[in-house]
Amino acid sequence: MLLCTLRERISCSRPCTRILYSQRRTLARTHGTIYSHDAVELSYTSIIPENGNATVKPLVILHGLFGSKRNWGSLCKAFHRDMPQRPIYALDLRNHGSSPHSTPMTYEAMASDVHKFIQDKELKEVALLGHSMGGKVAMAYALSLKDLNVEPGTLSQLISVDIAPSIGSLSPEFMQYISVMQKIQSLPPGVIKTRTDADHQLRPYEPDVSVRQFLLTNLQLPSHSRTASHDATEKAKFIVPLDILSRSVEALGSFPYRYNVEENSVPTKWEGSTLVIKGTKSPFINRKNIPHLRAFFPNMCLEELDTGHWVHAEKPTEFRKLVTDFLSQG
């Protein structure tokens, strides 16, 4: 049995430990929240078992802010080794990776995108895993199943990694990152030719090299090199839409459902099997918002690892074991 107590490398680099989401219309009313958005078709990678099962008991993974499906590549392969009969999907959420740029960038909209993906792929008994922003998306989806008219049995297990369904402000560093990324993107052609050039621009604003490396996973370099002529016209740019992100700060700190502190009550709950993994050095899950988690997800198991916010990257082996042990119970 998975031990449940209150004791409590992004794949391409050592992670940061600070706070850093054809169309079809989805329409639903969720306790005062309207799910009415043009759901976008999300980019994804998949690992399908040798038996050809692509739909039953899949693990679907949602990355965090500024992340992408690429960050989960190594762990997806490891999960496949641990669970060779289970299909695995890693998604790019809207405005990230190879997925479309679209507004609004709210948890309602991102949950609608995930709903569309699961419907289009005809997935059944889904285990949905989300980190940080992706964890909030996963929780919003779980809480909206009835209002999205999701078939019973579609979602079987939920995993939220180092995030709670609470409402608050994002770290002020968030806007600073966007600002300096916009500055890099506005530089004349020929100034940013390599990631080292971009790193030099970031360094005065962010001393932690791991944070800079993570942000620069979103950088698209010009095709020319240092030997290119001085009249090159192509500029470096970021694949995330910085203008949309800058307008979405309040929405990304929010959540579609509100916990009533005085009454210790919530407007809706998901009573399925839920695992919450907390980093002991991270502030995102704490004594103030653990009651939120328990109210929304009464069948919740809370586990801790000795990490910061990037739990899966700092302790990948221990993280894998927690996840696979939990999924084996489903």
Q: Which domains, from first to last, does the chain contain? A: 24-168+253-328 (3.40.50.1820), 173-246 (no CATH)
Note the pLDDT of residue 175.
Answer: 83
Task: Report the run of H or E that residue 219 belongs to, with start and end.
Answer: strand 219-220
Task: Identify which of 78, 111, 97 has the alpha carbon closest to the alpha carbon of residue 9.
Answer: 78
pLDDT tens digits, 272-302: 999 999 999 999 999 999 999 999 999 999 9
Directed axis angle between helix 107-120 and helix 133-143, to 10°?
70
Note the pLDDT of residue 233.
Answer: 76
pLDDT band at 67 (very low <50, low <70, confident <90, very high): very high
pLDDT band at 37 (very low <50, low <70, confident <90, very high): low
Note the pLDDT of residue 265.
Answer: 86
Residue 176 predicted with pLDDT over 70: yes
Residue 13 predicted with pLDDT over 70: no
3-state helix, strand, coil in the chain (%, to 5): 30, 20, 50
The residue ranking higher by pLDDT, 139 or 266, is 139
